């Protein structure tokens, strides 16, 4: 009986001690876990950066033709894709109403001229009588005013007749340049208003490629900058081009800026509307570059970008906030907030915590 009590006396503290040790073991193991990582050296990347933008081939000069008067289209002389020359007939309106208006005004001009001749003759007679003091000065002034009014009426009607004659010529819609018909928006028999678009003429003298640039890169593109253009139809063909224009205001829907690059070489096979790729190379900079895999965002700060800095003396890691720049070649990304020569964790970053001890895999840091 005494032996059992003695055994129980020393087994009970031992069991409690083991139980406490077992409860505390996972936390201590976690605190002292040394995780394997790979690190890279932060360095300046002097290589130029090339960006590709999808674009479409357009004519630099494209005119939408419209009648200067209203009327009914009686003839449409072109189709989409037709080649036209300057002065060639594109469409014609019914001009019968304008011809009648011209005839009516011509008759009014003749009547006004007859009235003017009569007023001039009357004024001459009254001038003679005024010189003989047969009539008073007010009577003479009244006939002089009537003669001047008749003269101005003739001038006004002649101007209206000339305007009507011009309107008759406006019923013929002529091409204003050599080019190709790229669009037609009216048909024969349709009644159109003055200024309503009828057809588009794309000039063949110059061609350009239009593409959209996101707002974070619009400041990297400058007018007169040289770019390279390739075609989806012939990727091997490279065409030099030059930035001609950059939109001052972003598109309200896409929030991008439209840029236009003039093609310096135009092959015969190049057609309007072809899809192209614009290759824009930015000059080399001394951006600090790290692998994109080294960047992480804490769950508590999803909008913050950080990296793990490796301390070779303490063999631990410390989180450092960074600002991301443009993407570079070979999976690198430009960053600010670091210094050249620092070492950052490039593999295993998602499983680390502040101040955790780590060990390097392989021999030292991984080269970029």
Q: What is the mean pLDDT of residues 338-361?
A: 82
Q: What percent of the chain has pLDDT over 70?
A: 87
Residue 348 has pLDDT above 90, yes or no: no
pLDDT band at 14 (very low <50, low <70, confident <90, very high): very low
> pLDDT tens across 284-324, in order?
666 788 888 888 888 888 888 888 898 888 888 888 888 88
Question: 340 and 299 in one domain?
Answer: yes
Domain of 104 in residue numbering reads as 99-160
CATH number at residue 178: 2.40.50.100
Q: Are 148 and 100 in contact (CB under 8 A)?
A: no
Residue 5 included in any domain: no
As a whole number of angstroms, the distance between CA 361 and CA 36 comes to 6
In a domain, 19, yes or no: no
Co-location of 359 and 223 in the same domain: yes
Mean pLDDT of 146-171: 93
Q: What pLDDT sits at residue 28?
A: 45
State mean pLDDT over 223-227: 93
241 plus 150 within the same structural domain: no
234 and 363 part of one domain: yes
Residue 325 lies in a domain: yes
Domain CATH number, residue 117: 1.10.287
- CATH number of the domain within which 313 lies: 2.40.30.170
Q: Is the pLDDT of residue 331 over 90?
A: no
Please indicate, yes or no, whether residues 271 and 350 belong to a single structural domain of this protein: yes
Q: Is the CB of residue 338 less than 8 Å from the CB of residue 42?
A: yes
Residues 253 and 257: their CA atoms lie apart, in Å, by: 11
pTM here?
0.60
Are 143 and 225 in the same domain? Answer: no
Task: Please give the tally of structural domains in the chain.
Answer: 3
* Six token digits for residue 234: 């012939």
The pLDDT confidence band at residue 45, using thresholds 50, 70 and 90, is low
Pair 213, 359 in one domain: yes
Would you place residue 189 in the very low, low, confident or very high pLDDT band (cuts 50, 70, 90)? Answer: very high
C-alpha 319/C-alpha 309 separation (Å) is 6
Please, what is the angle between helix 96-131 and helix 137-170, to 10°? 160
Using 50, 70 and 90 to split pLDDT, how confident is the model at 366? low
Asked if residue 56 and residue 128 are part of one domain, the reply reads no
Residues 77 and 147 in one domain: no
More confident residue, 358 or 9: 358
Tell me: pLDDT of 85 over 60: yes
Q: What percentage of the chain exceeds 90 in pLDDT?
A: 50
Residues 45 and 191 in one domain: no
- Residue range 205-233: mean pLDDT, rounded: 91
Q: Which two tokens stand for residue 80?
A: 């989409």
Taking the C-alpha atoms of residue 12 and residue 261, their distance in angstroms, rounded to an integer, is: 87
The edge-to-edge listing of strands for the beta sheet with 71-76 is 172-174, 89-93, 71-76, 191-192
């Amino acid at each position: 009986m005494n032996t059992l009590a003695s055994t129980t006396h020393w087994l009970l503290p031992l069991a409690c001690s083991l139980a406490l040790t077992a409860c505390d073991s996972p936390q201590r193991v976690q605190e002292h876990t040394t995780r394997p990582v790979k690190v890279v050296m932060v360095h300046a990347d002097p290589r130029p950066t090339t960006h590709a933008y999808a674009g479409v081939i357009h004519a630099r000069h494209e005119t939408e033709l419209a009648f200067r008067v209203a009327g009914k289209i009686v003839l449409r002389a072109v189709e989409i894709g037709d080649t036209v020359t300057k002065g060639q007939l594109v469409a014609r309106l019914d001009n019968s109403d304008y011809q009648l208006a011209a005839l009516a005004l011509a008759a009014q001009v003749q009547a006004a001229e007859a009235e003017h001749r009569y007023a001039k003759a009357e004024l001459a007679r009254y001038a003679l009588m005024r010189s003989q003091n047969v009539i008073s000065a007010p009577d003479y002034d009244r006939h002089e005013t009537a003669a001047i009014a008749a003269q101005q009426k003739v001038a006004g009607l002649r101007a209206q007749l000339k305007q009507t004659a011009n309107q008759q010529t406006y019923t013929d819609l002529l091409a204003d340049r050599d080019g190709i018909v790229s669009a037609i928006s009216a048909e024969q028999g349709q009644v159109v208003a003055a200024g309503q678009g009828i057809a588009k003429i794309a000039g063949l003298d110059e061609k350009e490629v239009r593409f959209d640039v996101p707002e974070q890169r619009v400041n990297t593109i400058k007018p007169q900058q040289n770019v390279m253009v390739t075609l989806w139809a012939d990727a091997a063909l490279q065409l030099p081009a030059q930035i001609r224009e950059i939109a001052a205001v972003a598109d309200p829907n896409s929030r991008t800026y439209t840029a236009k690059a003039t093609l310096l070489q135009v092959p015969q096979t190049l057609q309007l509307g072809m899809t192209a790729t614009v290759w824009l190379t930015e000059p080399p900079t001394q951006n600090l570059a790290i692998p994109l895999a080294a960047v992480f965002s804490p769950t508590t700060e999803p909008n913050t970008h950080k990296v793990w800095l490796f301390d070779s003396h303490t063999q631990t890691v410390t989180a450092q906030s960074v600002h991301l720049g443009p993407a570079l070649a070979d999976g690198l990304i430009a960053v600010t907030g670091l210094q050249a020569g620092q070492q950052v964790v490039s593999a295993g970053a998602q499983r680390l915590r502040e101040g955790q001890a780590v060990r390097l895999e392989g021999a030292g840091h991984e080269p970029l």
